[in-house]
Structure 1
Amino acid sequence: MKLILRDFEHKKGVHSDTTALRDVFAFAGHRFPEELFFGLGEGLGFYYWNGRNLARPMIGGRCGNLELDRRVCDKLGARLVIRESTSPRRARGTMLSLLEAGRPVMLHTDAYYLKFLRCDAHFGAHCLVVAGVDEDTAYVADRSRDGLIEMSLDELSEARSSRHRPFPPQNRWFEIDVPEQIDVDPKALMGAIGMNATEMLNSPIRNVGIGGIYYFANCVRTWDTAYGKKDLPRVCREAHDAIEGDGIGGGCFRYLYADFLQYAGRICDSRPLAEVADGYRQVGNMWTQMASMFAEVDCGCASLTEIATLANAIAAKEHELQVSLMTAANLCCRRH
C-alpha cells in the first residue's frame, strides 16, 4: 500500500544535514531558511586530521557529526532522540511505523550506496528524509534535487547499514518532536554566534578551529614528502572536494555561514553582523581559490607552498572576523 506524507514539501538545499532539518521543521509548520539551522547549530568549524591510522588526511569545515542536530533542537525547544540499531530489519520496521504515525524520518546513509548521487567515496553521515513508502520503494528527500526521489528499500537499507568509514551510519535515525510555538529571538541567534566564535578562537585542540587552519597550513607544506608523488594527486583531489565538493555550498561552508549572518543581522537589526557576513563571503572566495589551487598542483600550475601561504591568510582573516562577531554578540545581547 502506497503511503506518502501529505503536505510534505521539499526543494533543493545546500547541505544534507541542514536541508533535512529544514524539511522536518517545515512539515511541523515552521518554515525557516536552511542557513538558520546551520547558524543555530553553531555549524561553522574547521578540523584537520592526519593521524597514523589514516591513509590520507581529512579536512572539514563544520562542527562534528551530530553536534549540529543536538544544538539546533535544543535552541528551538524540540525534543531530539537519536537512535541506532544493529538490525537493518528493525531499523526498517521502525521507519515504517514512524511513517504510519505521520512522521517524516530523518536518517543517516552512506552516500556511496545512493545511486542517484553517483558518489565514488564512502561517507556515512549523509542525511535523507524518508517521506513515503510503497511495497519495495522508498520516497526520499535529498538536498541534491527538488521533490521526492524513488529508490528501492533494499538500496536504502544497504546505505543505512554500511560499516565503512568515515562516520558509519549504523542504521541511525532521528526522532524530533517539534513544538507548536517557536520563537527565534535575537538572544538565541547572538548566543549561537558567540558560542561558535568561542569554539573557533579558543579550541584546546591544535588541529581544530582557527588554530587548526594554521596547523593545516604548516602540514600542507610537507605533503609532497609525507605522501609522495604516487598519493599526492589523490590527497589534493580529496582536499579540493572537502572544500568545494557537493553538499558544502562552496567555500568550505563559509558561504552558508555568511547567509546565516545576513539573516541574523536582519532579525537583530545589526549592521556589524551584515559587515561580517560580507567578510565571510570574501573568506569563502579565498577557500574556493584554495580548492582550485589543489586541483592544479598535479599539473604544476600551483604549489603547496602557495596553498600554505593562502591558508595562513585565511586563518588571519577568520580570526579577525570571529573577534568582530564576539563583539557584535556582546553588544546585541546587552541591547536585547
Structure 2
Amino acid sequence: MNIDSQTDEFHHVQTAHCENGVTTALLRYHGLDFMTEPLAFGMGSGLFYIQIPFLTVNNGPAISFRTMPGAIFKRTCKSLGVEVTRKKFSNPAAAEAFLDQKVKEGVPVGCQVGVFHLTYFPKEYRFHFNAHNLIVFGEENGRYQISDPVMEDVTSLSKEELSRVRFAQGPLAPRGHIYFPEKIKPITQDMIRKGIVSGIRRNVRDMLSIPGNFAGVNGIRHTSNHVRKWRDKLGLRKASLYLGQIVRMQEEIGTGGGGFRFLYGAFLEEAAAYLQDDRVSNVSEDFTKAGDMWRASAIKMAGVYKGRLTEQKDFEEIADMMLEIRLVEKEAFQKLSSLKLGK
C-alpha cells in the first residue's frame, strides 16, 4: 500500500468514540483508507478498566472503561510506523499561534479539550470532562472549522471558544494539547497484521497482568467490592450519586463500558479477516456478551440513581453483576492469550 501524500480534502468521519474517530479521520486524510474505528481502537489497545484511587470526577469515583487519553492515537500510529507531533503549552497565546500556523499550512490537527464549555454540545452533555478529542481542519469567517467525531456534521468554534476548552481546568487538563501525523511511509498488509497482533497482546497484558487491584479485570472486582459497601458507608443518597457517576462514565463519555466492548468485538472480527484466523472472531462473541452485561448493569444502577431501587439487595445485585462481567472478560482475554498469535 503506497502512501505518497495526503488527500486534497479533509473528510469528516462520525464515530462512536472521539479519539478513535480523530485517529481514523487523520490517518485517512493521509491516505490510509483501510483505517476504521474498530481497527484504530484495537491496534491502540483501547479496551481497559480502572478505578483510579484518590481521584474523583464530578464528586464521584474516577472510573474509566478505556485506556488513557491519547494512547489510542499514539499506539496506532506507532504500530504502523507513522511519525507524529504532539505538543502541550503553558501559554494559550502560544497554543493559538501554533494552531493557526498548522491551519494556514492546511494541516488538520487533533486537539484535546474539555466539554463543559463546548458550545455546540447539548447542555445535558456538558460536564467537567477534559479528555474529549476533536479535529481542527480549517478556518472560515474568523471561526475554526471543527470535525468532532461524535457529531453528525462539521461545526465551528470562535477563537475564544476553542481556547477556553483547550485550556479547561481540572483533572486531565488538556493544556492546549495538539497532535497530528507527521510522516507516513508505505503501509504493507504485514505491517497491519503485526499492528493488530501487538495491539491484542498489549490489551491482554493490560487486562490480566497489571499488578494491584485497581486496573484490568481485578479493577472490576475492586469496584464491585466498593458497591456492596456504599449504601451503609455513604448513605443512600450519596451511594446513589456514585452509581449515577458510574453510569455517566460508562454510557455517556464516548461509547462507555458497554459500547467499548461491542467495539472490541468488531475489531476482533476485522482482525480475524486480516489474520485469516477464525479463532479470533469466535472470541468476539464474548465481548459482545460483556457489552450486553455492562448495559444491563447500567440500567440497574440508573434505577438506584433515580430512586426506584433503594434496598441493600439492589446494591448486592449490581455488585454480583460486575463480578459476572469480570469473569466473562477475564476468560475472553485468556482465550486471546492462548491463541499465541504471531508465533
**Is 1:141 aligned to residue 138 of structure 2?**
no
Q: 1:14 to 1:249 in 2, by over 3 A?
A: farther
Give runs of aligned pairs for residues 89-238 of structure 1, distance below 5 A. 89-118=93-122, 119-165=125-171, 167-183=172-188, 184-238=191-245
CA distance in 2, matches of 1:174, 1:205: 32
Q: 1:194 to 1:261 in 2, by over 3 A?
A: same
CA distance in 1, matches of 2:266, 2:158: 35
CA distance in 2, matches of 1:120, 1:130: 20
Q: 1:250 to 1:219 in 2, by over 3 A?
A: closer
Task: Please say if residues 249 and 256 of structure 1, whose CA atoms lie closer than 8 Å, have aligned partners that are also in contact.
Answer: no
- Scaled by the length of structure 2, what TM-score is found? 0.90
CA distance in 2, matches of 1:97, 1:10: 21
* Correspondence for 1:14 among 1, 13, 16: 16
Query: Post-superposition shift, 1:109?
Result: 0.6
Contiguous gaps of at least 5 residues in structure 1: none
Query: Post-superposition shift, 1:14?
Result: 1.0
Give runs of aligned pairs for residues 248-327 of structure 1, distance below 5 A. 248=255, 251=258, 253-297=260-304, 298-300=307-309, 303-327=314-338
Give CA-to-partner distance per residue, 1:135-173, whole Å, 9 cap, x none.
Answer: 4311100122233212212111110011122x1111111
Give 1:23's aligned residue: 25
User: Aligned residues, how many?
Assistant: 327
State the superposition RMSD in angstroms.
Answer: 1.8
Task: Please say if residues 38 and 264 of structure 2, whose CA atoms lie closer than 8 Å, have aligned partners that are also in contact.
Answer: yes
CA distance in 2, matches of 1:53, 1:235: 10
SS at match of 1:81: strand
Task: Please say if residues 293 and 307 of structure 1, whose CA atoms lie closer than 8 Å, have aligned partners that are also in contact.
Answer: yes
Query: Post-superposition shift, 1:250?
Result: 5.7
Give CA-to-partner distance per residue, 1:97-131, whole Å, 9 cap, x none.
Answer: 01111210111110111122232311111001001
- Match of 2:88, as an amino acid? E
Q: 1:229 to 1:72 in 2, by over 3 A?
A: same
- Scaled by the length of structure 1, what TM-score is found? 0.92
Query: Post-superposition shift, 1:6?
Result: 4.9
CA distance in 1, matches of 2:269, 2:285: 8
Q: 1:182 to 1:191 in 2, by over 3 A?
A: same
Query: Post-superposition shift, 1:53?
Result: 6.5
CA distance in 2, matches of 1:233, 1:129: 36
Query: Post-superposition shift, 1:75?
Result: 0.4
Query: Post-superposition shift, 1:69?
Result: 2.3
Query: Post-superposition shift, 1:13?
Result: 0.6
Query: Post-superposition shift, 1:283?
Result: 0.6
Task: Please say if residues 105 and 175 of structure 1, whose CA atoms lie closer than 8 Å, have aligned partners that are also in contact.
Answer: yes
SS at match of 2:173: coil
SS at match of 2:235: helix
Task: Please say if residues 55 and 61 of structure 2, whose CA atoms lie closer than 8 Å, have aligned partners that are also in contact.
Answer: no
- Match of 2:52, as an amino acid? W
- Match of 1:219, as an amino acid? H
Percent identity between matched residues is: 24
Q: Greater shift after overlay, 233-242 or 244-253? A: 244-253
Task: Please say if residues 65 and 260 of structure 2, whose CA atoms lie closer than 8 Å, have aligned partners that are also in contact.
Answer: yes
Task: Please say if residues 145 and 155 of structure 2, whose CA atoms lie closer than 8 Å, have aligned partners that are also in contact.
Answer: yes
Q: 1:303 to 1:178 in 2, by over 3 A?
A: farther
* Correspondence for 2:82 among 71, 78, 81: 78
